[in-house]
Amino acid sequence: MKISEFLPEEAILLEVRAKDKWSLFQEVAQILARLTGISAEKIIQLLSEREKLSTTAIGDGVAIPHSRVEGLKEIVICVVRAENGIDFDSEDKKPVRLVFVVLAPEGESQLYLQTLAHIAHIVKDPQIKKRLLAASSAKEIKEILEEVDYEY
């Protein structure tokens, strides 16, 4: 599977200045709302609810906030970079510089888990992570993710 299929270029944000995850959610919700037709308030609420259960930061400056969303048609991913780092309450205390937001339809089952697993797998590769952080355009980020294809 390729996660790039679910990643519209408009949903790649090269430089976000949010200071913490809550204000980041505000920002990405606007873009995701435009792309999906789901209300921004709903998206903020769902991502925040999940975040309150436990942080979605996975360490080493990466976070993967995610939720199922009622009424959504297909999985959508949004990639965010934040050079200054975002406070995500990460267990390793490191600020987050790379974020993958994943929304999935309510009924999406195994593909949702695979998408999350796939992203977690990709960002563990220091080479790919470095390239994603160095990329100079949304197009380039999408191209890097198109290269990585992983079958479970």
Point out the residues that are catalytic.
66
Kindly give the residue spans of alpha helices, DSSP state H, lying in the chain.
21-36, 40-53, 110-122, 126-134, 138-147
C-alpha 34/C-alpha 63 separation (Å) is 22
Residues that bind other proteins (CB under 8 A): 50, 53-54, 56, 58-59, 64, 68, 106, 109-110, 112-114, 116-118, 120-121, 124, 152
If phi over 0 gives left and psi between -120 and 50 gives alpha, with beta otherwise, what is residue 60? left
C-alpha 13/C-alpha 34 separation (Å) is 14
C-alpha 71/C-alpha 58 separation (Å) is 28
Shortest spacing between CB 109 and other proteins, in angstroms: 4
